[in-house]
Structure 1
Amino acid sequence: MRVLLVSPVFHGYWSAFAAALEALQLDVTVHCYDAGGIGNALAHRAPGSALAARVRGAATAAAIRALTAADPDAVLVVKGDALEADWWHALAASGARSALWLYDELARMRYDDETLGTVDRVFSYSPDDTRTLQERGIDAAVLPDGFDALTAFTPRPSHRTSFIGARYPERERLLRVLAEAGEAVEAYGREWSRSPWDVLRTARWRGAGVPAHGDVDRATYFGVMAGSAATLNIHGDGHDGFSMRTYEAPGVGALQLIDRPDVAQHYEVGSETLVFRSDDELVDQVRRARRDESWARGIREAGRRRTLAEHTLVHRMREVRAAWA
């Protein structure tokens, strides 16, 4: 089966999705619809501007050209809300089987029922959105995020508790809670970084007050999480789906501390991953992780076993392939 993967650049995840599809013996062509550098970045900051309209138009035309050139049997679109109606019409007219995978809430994207109805199957990481779509007559199913088990990494041992991801107020606050309790922490991501280029492009003029690094590739942050004393996964409010980090952290053998008790639907809380419900509980768990290495190691190993058995991106792509059967 020839598959066209149409994906945003988004931290290079397109390569992990493609590798997972190829592991299932599919012939994959990739088109990244937002690989336009500074123009895309500026358009994202001003979605209603004339520049944003031009960027969407160019991205749509390029995606249609990629569809024509690939002549695929099936197309997987990831997120895809930057593509205009002409793309979805072309996809429907191509005769290829189609699937759309949404790793964000519908409320944060530009979609209507008419567009979603042109796709054979809509997958969403959000159970709430999936139920909403089904109630509106759209063929939708839950497809959680997953772990890229095909990327090799080397653990980077550290006594610090790590956080990798965007800089939101609650994440910043919790890192400070740990630091003020005397625990060593570090954050990774351009919004945390104090390099002049990162400060300029993110307009984060004030530092977070914790040790910080810029963006790192997936293999590097896998190694950071695996080697950290513990690693944080902080969703905050407004999400019912689980982020990639939910599966990546235990997948690499890290000790994950997550703020979502409902992670119990994917992992055994207390034996495969840890949940914190308060600042004090977070501090206590980090301290125990440093003190009781045997306890922490058991959770790390059990979480990794569960992830490799159930939660890799190959598992997720197998579900997508089944929808094309």
Structure 2
Amino acid sequence: MSPSIAEVPKTEVVVPVSADPKAKIRRVIDEEGGTTTASYPHYLPTWNHSEKYPPLTPFTHTDPGASADPTFKDLLPPGTTIQKLTPTTGSEISNIQLSTLSPAAKSQLALLVAQRRVVVFRNQDFASLPIQSALDYAAHFGRHHIHPTSGAPENYPQVHLVHRSGSNSEIDSFFAGKTSSVAWHSDVTYEQQPPGTTFLYILDTPEVGGDTAFVDQVQAYNRLSPAIKERLHGLKAVHSGIEQAEFSKSRGGVVRREPVVNEHPIVRTHPVTGEKALFVNGGFTRSIVGLKKEESDALLGFLLNHISRGIDYQVRVRWAPGTVVVWDNRLTAHSAIMDWSTGERRHLARLTPQAETPFETPYVAESDA
């Protein structure tokens, strides 16, 4: 693992650089006229234009899965059932209440998620926990990321919200000029230390529609020919947050932190499993370092098309009340599926612990493995 520069507590105090109490604050609950139908109104998005945060500081991340018992004895006691969603990617686990897991069980969860990429839990009480309790829980997996532009519950900027209700939303505007809502991405990969083990839990969902699809970037890498794998090793790609910030500004939205651009290996190694995965995505990857534009566009376009077409290493999760999905952002990309037009609310909360700076281990020819 490539070490970071400074150690920062996982529960660091969040202090804005500035917070003008007279500044504009947009609250969805106010826009709904105090008669909201949201099941969890305290989770409705707010955008505080006064909140400005300093650049993120590097920190040393130790993945909790590295010390986990591989027998999963604390996470998967007798009576637990596991159903694979596809042969290689995704599992659904029953008869576990995530909120009751011990620290040892949470570390085993990190390991299991790394192995299966995406793990689904039903009938959870996670959304009913006090928001701070949910944050304290997820801090076991890394330092919380504060999204630079998204809505958040008031006074809890560490919670990223996905919200669509009625016909007016930023999501609708984003997809207005597209023929499909498919937008494969890994979260905030423009950061120096992008997320690892990530939590997404449902608050409100349409009766039908609004699923989330995940693609296994390890399998996407494994499907490539040895010659292409060898060529990709040593290459880095540019990941940019500038466009996301500019989109928010263009709509009068917030930008809590100045956008950053970072370079990451195209092939990333997981610090616990040692598996190699493609680490490019259509949301934030802009170009390949050292290649001419036409070369970069062609190679990056091939990789993104390869990822998007890989239906045999993708999994689709259908949301239902009480569902929590835990996935490894280092090994997957995902896309929301905006396929309903009933005006029903789709409302989710994401907890996004950061992980290590992406690193690459040397290519080993398959004949030498």
Query: Could you tell me the TM-score, scaled by structure 2's length?
Result: 0.23
- Structure in which a larger fraction of residues adopt strand: 2
